[in-house]
Each structure stands twice: as C-alpha cells, then as structure tokens.
Structure 1
Amino acid sequence: MLLLEVEELRKEHPGCGVEKMYNTLKPEFIGRDRFIDIFMDLGFRLKTKKNYKRTTYPVSVQYPNLIKGMEVFAPSIIWQSDITYIYVKEEEKFYYAVFIIDVYTKKIVGHQLTNSMRAVANVKAMQMALKNNDVPKIHHSDRGGQYLYKPYIELLKANKIKISMSVSAQDNAYAERINRTIKEEYIDYWKPKNYEQLKKCVDRAVYQYNNTRPHNNIGKLSPVIFEENWFNNKLFSKPRFTIFNNEKLLETGQL
C-alpha cells in the first residue's frame, strides 16, 4: 500500500524528493531514515535514470471497466472518484484530497482532505457521499492503492455497489476534471497558507462548485439546481449521454 501511495505522489509531483514524500505520507510503521533508504534503493531518488517498474509488485484484486460505452440518464448511476495533491508553499508540504463526483449531475457527493496520504480518507469521503445521496449502481476509479484498500472495497460491496476500474486516467476523466477545477479555479486563487486554511478552502470550493458554478452540459445550471429540477420538476428536460474516452468528452463538451 505504501509503495502504491509513493508512486501516485511521484506521478503527480515528479519533483517531490524522498524525504518530502516521507513528511507528506507520514507512515506510522516506518521511520524516516529507513523510508529514505528503501525508496532510494527502489529508484525514487531524483534525477536518476533508474525506474521502479509497476510489474514488480502484486495486485491481487482487479476489476474491469464497466462504464465505457454506457448510457447515463439519471443521478446515482455512476460515481467516479480520484485523488490529488495540493501543495501549500508556506509549509512546503503536500496535502491529500479525494473527491467523488456523480457523473450525471456533476455534483461532488463526497470529499475529504487529510494531512497524510492514508486510504482511510477515501472511506470517509465515501461515507459522506452515501449519507447524503442515493446509493449509486457503479463506483468507478483508477487502480490506485486507496481504491483497493480492503475497508473501502467492503464498504462498496456492503452497499451492493458494482466496482469498476480503469487502467488509464483517460477512462476516469470526470473525476480527473474535478481535481483540476478545484485547484485551478478556487485554491490557486485563495492561496491558503496552512492546513487549516486549506481545509476551509476545500470545503468552500466544493460548496461553491455544487451550488453556484454553472455547467454547460446540464443546461448551464449548478449541479444542485440541476438535481433539484430533475427530481421535482415534471417538465424538466432530462438529458442522456454516453461514457466515452477523454478525447470524446472534450469534443462533446461533457467535461
């Protein structure tokens, strides 16, 4: 699990050094020096040609992509989730955020920010989503370690949610887009200086995104207003669309 988390952090922030990785992830079961020695040996030293290959570690649980080519016509059919890192310059630290989006309404149904990259944050985000929304038919994500975390899988199965996973980021386009929107349209402008400020900014960004930000492909309404109309207005036009890859989504404006 820790190896998966390190790879994901390095993928998002290629210039993040090994010691900074340790300070970001804060693994409780291993000391700093031991962590540095291990991940230096595995090829995570900056400016090195040695690469650690994903094929050298086992992933015993694999799930197929269930959503490609699927028609979506109502809320809580497909939820997508992804993780991202938000850098606070004043603290020289990365923080870990997870967002869950309803693909149809574009509403962020669950989110969580933590000061260490632990899969429990994904569980808390999903618990939030399930508390305030109808249970989805399908949960879709990439194959990051947090989505293979046993308590997370058990939570999905306990709610009879089908599990769908993609191999590439292009097949998780809606959730990837949310990461960029929250960071580029909100956090980058507000420039939080510490974790507490960042947490408030993320909560504020999610609220504004859900309640006030218009989306072209849902009639230029906010996700919350669109959802309210969908359930309560009998004359409301209810669109349908098909899940394609990232390039097709950009062409059709579905992102």
Structure 2
Amino acid sequence: MNSSRTRIIPVLLLKGESLVKTVKFDKYNYIGDPINTVRIFNELEVDELAFLDIEASKKNSKPNFKLLELIASECFMPLAYGGGIKTFDDVKRIFSIGFEKVILNSICFEDPNLITKVSEIYGSQAVIGSVDYKHSFWGKAAVYSHDGTRKQNVDPKSWALELESKGVGEILLTSMDNDGTWNGFDVKVAREVSDSLSVPLIASGGAGSIKDIADIVKSGGASAVGVGSMVVYQKKDMGVLINFPDKKKLKEALEFNV
C-alpha cells in the first residue's frame, strides 16, 4: 500500500434534491445544495466524489437524472453514483451523463447479473459493489439493503466475495453502526473483508479524524476511504462547512511501507 494511492472520497447523500447527512442510517440533517457543494469540492481539488440517493431504492424510484446532469456538468473530478439503479438502461444513462462509476447495492440481491453485464461492457473499474452492514445484539454482522431497511441473510465478507465473483471492481463497505458517529471505523470487519478480496476496498462509516483514516488504511487494509461528516461539518456537533482534510497532514499520516 502506498500513501499516494490512497483515495479519500467524499460520500454525499442525496434526499430529493438536497444533500443530507445521516447518523447510523437513521436521522438526517440538511446539509445544503448539491451543486454548490460540488463547486466547493472543485476548488478543494478532491480526487473523486460519490453520490448516493438514500431514498430511491427504498421508495422504488428511479435515479434523478435531471439532478445528476446538473452535478456532472459542474464537476471537474471523477464521479460515482448509486441509488435506484435497476436496469442496464439506467446504467447507460448515468454513464452518458458523465459519471465514471455506478454503485450497486439493493439491485444486486434482485438481479446480480446486472453487475456482470455492466462489468463486461464498461469494465469492472466502472462498477462498485456497495455492502452496508450492522451488528446484531449478539455481535453478528449482517448485510442490509434498501438503505438499511431490509436485512439480508448473509455476512459482509461472504457478500463482498459474491459481488467480486460477479464482476465488481471495488467494494464500498459501510458500517451502519458507525455511520455519522465520528467514532472511527470498524477496523475488524474491514480487515476480514479486505483480506479476502482481490479488488480494492473502500471503507466508509465513522471517520472523525485523520488518525481514523490512517487506522483504517494501515490496520483495516482499505485501499480508499469514504468520508461523510468530516467533510460536511466544521467539527462534531458544529455547523455545516464543506471542507477536506489537510492534504499534507493526510500524506504524513498515511506514509508507511508494508
């Protein structure tokens, strides 16, 4: 792992035409307008952005293509999108708008062959398999779909391997227990999943500091890190401020050899 290759990716949540931020996939706060936020991230020279529509699959609605067109027209960096994608035509349209990657989650349980089709035509690098999970009272990790509302009878490691076998080029692993908490990542599960995969792991859920980011890369085996609260709030329990961690401090924290 080389620090220069560690991508730090703002993961931005869409609800309707607004940006929001959740805590443990539940209560959410209004963050602002996605277009203005993209413009700020352009100025901050962020490497990559991911947008997730948190209601589309739950409400069985299509992606908001009109909003995605506006986002893509303003954005200077590679874009990924997930939420409400059900058909190959949806994927084609998202790519034609200007997004480089699709993030597939709920549809993977209903039509896993969609992953393979997209991967064969656009390349595996264009498909991110999203794995959301939380622990039961007894400590067992289970995968959830439809924005955390449907429990699936599979654990994160097994499901990540299944998605890899279908053709995804990356796994986005999100801890629902840690989402929005600022308490750090679930390093244990990330390590179990990353050790089993041959594709890169993007770890998400819990980032509160540069140290947390370094920990999930060094101890959790993540190739990339998804950040939410850290880049939309000033600090924990403080107001909205679109920002990005100091790149020099990030580089210093991530510099190590294995």
Between Structure 1 and Structure 2, whose CA radius of gyration is higher? 1
TM exceeding 0.5: no
Relative to the length of structure 2, the TM-score reads 0.30
Task: Name whichever structure is richer in strand by fraction.
Answer: 2
